[in-house]
């Protein structure tokens, strides 16, 4: 028996998952989004549910207890991305270029 992997995530992370050939169900931490997450978790044909950490954190204690008592689905919280600011990304890029040219790390001030 083969059970599918399902994904529930926030709108800002769906493009990356679509690039990885996953079909995410988009949901936010509002009541409607949490209802969508609960619906995916309760589907009898789910093997693994990848759930955005923000959504997982908003699940009730009863929902989490229920998940702990059942063997399937396996719910895996996915941490949110750590977005870098444009300044940090630019500095990291320049530092990497300098490291390649000079051969060692330098510190920008």
Confidence of residue 12 (pLDDT cuts 50, 70, 90): confident
For the beta sheet containing 74-78, the strands, ordered from the edge strand earlier in sequence to the opposite edge, are 25-26, 5-9, 48-52, 74-78
Q: Domain ranges for the chain, please list them.
A: 5-78, 84-109
pLDDT at position 6 is 93
Class of domain 5-78: alpha beta
Euclidean distance between CA atoms 8 and 50, whole angstroms: 6
Classify the phi-psi angles of 87: left when phi > 0, otherwise alpha if psi is within -120 to 50, otherwise beta: alpha
pLDDT at position 52 is 93
Distance from chain centroid for Cα 16: 10
Q: Rounded mean pLDDT of 51-73?
A: 89
Number of H-type helices and E-type strands within the chain = 5, 4
pLDDT at position 2 is 87
Tens of pLDDT, residues 16-33: 899 989 999 999 889 999
């Amino acid at each position: 028996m083969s059970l599918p992997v399902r994904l529930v995530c926030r709108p800002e992370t769906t493009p990356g998952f679509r690039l990885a050939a996953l079909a995410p169900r988009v949901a936010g931490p509002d009541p409607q989004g949490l209802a969508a997450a609960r619906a995916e978790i309760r589907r009898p044909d789910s093997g693994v549910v990848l759930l955005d950490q923000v959504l997982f954190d908003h699940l009730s204690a009863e929902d989490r207890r229920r998940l702990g008592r059942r063997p399937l689905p396996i719910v895996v919280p996915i941490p949110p991305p750590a977005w870098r600011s444009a300044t940090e990304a630019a500095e990291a890029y320049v530092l990497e270029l300098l490291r390649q040219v000079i051969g060692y790390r330098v510190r920008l001030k």
